[in-house]
Amino acid sequence: MISAVQGILGLASGASVGFSLGLVGGGGSVLAVPLMVYVVGVPEPHIAIGSSAIAVATNAALNLFNHARGRTVIWPVAAVFAAAGIVGAFCGSLLGKMLDGQKLLALFALVMLVIAMLMMKTRARVGVPDVKMSMANLPAIVGLGLAAGTLSGFFGIGGGFLIVPALMLATGMPIMNAVSSSLVAVTAFGLTTAASYAWSGLIAWDLAGLFIAGGIAGGLVGTGLARRLSARRGALNVVFASVIIVVALYMLVRSLLHIWT
């Protein structure tokens, strides 16, 4: 049972999660997990991971609807990428539950920093706006989808910070299309991971509901800002990478302090 203070913090945290998903197509569980652990006060990292997975999947689906209205989702690519990733997400979640929660968070923070550096390096790339799925890029879409799904399930995340750069690498699409299309996979991966954690009784349903409620408002604001930033070359890439770096460093410091003490 959560307290009134935890309820307010849960709504505010959910708004931050929804904003991130709407803005950069990721950051859902990356933000939700540390917010649940360090702000709301969920003591068990695996429960925070499981609860965030269902909340992020739901918020991602709502934000996908907002992006779809702007016709920036490349559905065939997104669907195949998500389908390949579901298999990886299920296998990865089984492995992730076997490891120490704090060590898992520290390892994920390091992965995030590597991705941020790669996004900064390619921030000036425009991309191909009319990307189509073909036999030439199909192996990359399936292979990277499987890899992103495995890492998503392993770390217990929706996977947007992995999916967006993977979609850009596989097809050459602009970041705005990658952000929008990534939400298909974030929804699918999150539901797959959530199902695995729910089976193990590792979801706090009342807290997940608060995160979803707060995320609805945050998602609307984030989607609108993403559309404005996408008109400025490289701006959305820089925002994407900056969010990753800040959250990763915070997670890494807190996790290492916990491990060492």
Q: Per residue in 9-49, pLDDT tens?
A: 889 988 988 888 888 777 676 678 778 888 888 878 888 88
| SS3 labels along the chain | CCCHHHHHHHHHHHHHHHHHHHHHCCCHHHHHHHHHHHHHCCCCHHHHHHHHHHHHHHHHHHHHHHHHHCCCCCHHHHHHHHHHHHHHHHHHHHHHCCCCHHHHHHHHHHHHHHHHHHHHHCCCCCCCCCCCCCCCCHHHHHHHHHHHHHHHHHHCCCCHHHHHHHHHHHHCCCHHHHHHHHHHHHHHHHHHHHHHHHHCCCCCHHHHHHHHHHHHHHHHHHHHHHHHHCCCCCHHHHHHHHHHHHHHHHHHHHHHHHHHC
As a whole number of Å, the CA-based R_g of the chain is 17
The mean of the pLDDT values for the chain is: 82
Chain centroid to Cα 98, Å, comes to 21
The arithmetic mean of pLDDT across residues 85-95, rounded, is 83
The arithmetic mean of pLDDT across residues 153-166, rounded, is 76
Q: Say if residue 100's pLDDT is above 60.
A: yes
Q: How many domains is the chain built from?
A: 1
Per-residue model confidence (pLDDT) at position 140: 95
- The upper half-sphere exposure of residue 96, i.e. CA atoms within 13 Å in the direction of its Cβ, equals 33
The confidence band for 164, taking pLDDT boundaries of 50, 70 and 90, is confident
pTM: 0.77
Q: Say if residue 129's pLDDT is above 80.
A: no
The arithmetic mean of pLDDT across residues 161-184, rounded, is 87
Q: Say if residue 123's pLDDT is above 60.
A: no
The confidence band for 233, taking pLDDT boundaries of 50, 70 and 90, is low
Structural domain for 147, as ranges = 4-260
The arithmetic mean of pLDDT across residues 176-203, rounded, is 86
Mean pLDDT check: name the lowest of 107-111, 118-122, 149-153, 249-253.
118-122
Mean pLDDT check: name the lowest of 6-15, 46-55, 113-122.
113-122
